[in-house]
A = this chain, B = another copy of it.
Amino acid sequence: MNIGDVAERSGVPAKTIRYYEDIGLVTPLRAANGYRSFREIDFRKLAFIGRARALGFTIEDCRTLLALYNDDNRESAQVKAVAEEHLRQIDEKISKLMSMKETLSSLVHQCAGDHRPDCPILADLAVSD
Q: Spell out A's residues near B (CB within 8 Å).
A: 43-44, 47-48, 51-52, 54-56, 65, 68-69, 71-77, 79-81, 83-84, 86-87, 90-91, 93-94, 97-98, 100-101, 103-105, 107-108, 111-119, 121-122, 124-128
Partner pick for A108 among B48, B68, B84, B125, CB 8 A cutoff: B84
By secondary structure, the A interface counts as helix
User: Do the beta carbons of B44 and A76 come within 8 Å of each other?
Assistant: no
Provide a sorted-by-A list of 19 A–B residue pairs whose CB atoms are within 8 angstroms: A44-B126, A44-B128, A48-B125, A48-B126, A55-B125, A56-B97, A56-B100, A56-B104, A65-B125, A68-B122, A69-B122, A76-B121, A80-B112, A81-B113, A83-B121, A86-B104, A90-B104, A93-B93, A94-B94
